[in-house]
Structure 1
Amino acid sequence: MGEALFFDTLRQGLWIAVVISGPILVVALLVGLAIGLFQALTSIQEMTLTFVPKMAAMLAVFWASMGFMTLTLQQYFTDTLVPIIQGF
């Protein structure tokens, strides 16, 4: 395995990790921002108020995007990693 092939495969794997984690992180950011704004407007400073809704939203988005995540990882494995493994 050449150095260029190794770094290209690593780059593709990291990009897929970013694409897969993107929806969950965006939802966590938006829900956290909305709850933070709500807390600032109402002067409620309860820690569980931010944690529970954020976790529920992240779980819902994970459940909704699980098929996309699985398909993306499967395509990366079959299109990129299996041919590299078979070549050696």
Structure 2
Amino acid sequence: MNEADALDIVQYAIWTVLTASGPAVAAAMLVGVGIALVQALTQIQEITLTFVPKIVAIMLVVALTGPFMGAQISSFANVIFERIEHGF
């Protein structure tokens, strides 16, 4: 295995992490911004108010996009196993 192979694997791993975690992170970000706007408009500065909606949103998004996330991780694992099988 040379440097180009290692960089290719690392690049693919980073891309897999970004695409698999993207929906959950986006949902948390959108809910967080929405809750922050509500807190700013109503002057309610309760710290625990943001946790429950974020957790619910993330759980829903993970439940809905779970097959997509699993497919991305499975694709990465298959590529790595094929490279191991062919000796890089």
Partner of 1:34: 34
* Structure 1 unaligned residues grouped into runs of 5+: none
State the match for 1:18 in structure 2: 18
- The correspondence of residues 67-86 of structure 1 with structure 2, limited to 5 A, is 67-78=67-78, 80-86=79-85
Higher RCO, 1 vs 2 (CA within 8 Å, ≥6 residues apart): 2
Structure-to-structure mapping, 1:32-71, within 5 angstroms: 32-71=32-71
What SS is found at the alignment partner of 1:6?
helix
- Cα distance between partner residues in 2 of 1:84 and 1:59: 34
CA distance in 1, matches of 2:15, 2:75: 13
CA distance in 2, matches of 1:17, 1:62: 14
TM score, norm. by length of structure 1: 0.93
Name the aligned partner's letter for residue 80 of structure 2: L
Shift of 1:18: 0.4
Q: What is the distance in 2 between the residues matched to 1:4 and 1:77? A: 19
> Any gaps of 5 or more consecutive residues in structure 2?
none
Identity of aligned residues (%): 38
Q: CA deviation at 1:87?
A: 2.3
Deviation at 1:73, TM superposition (A): 1.1
1:44 partner SS = coil
Give every structure 1 segment of 4 or more consecutive aligned residues whose post-TM-superposition deviation is greater than 6 Å.
none
Number of residue-to-residue matches in the alignment: 87
State the 1:61 CA deviation.
Answer: 0.4
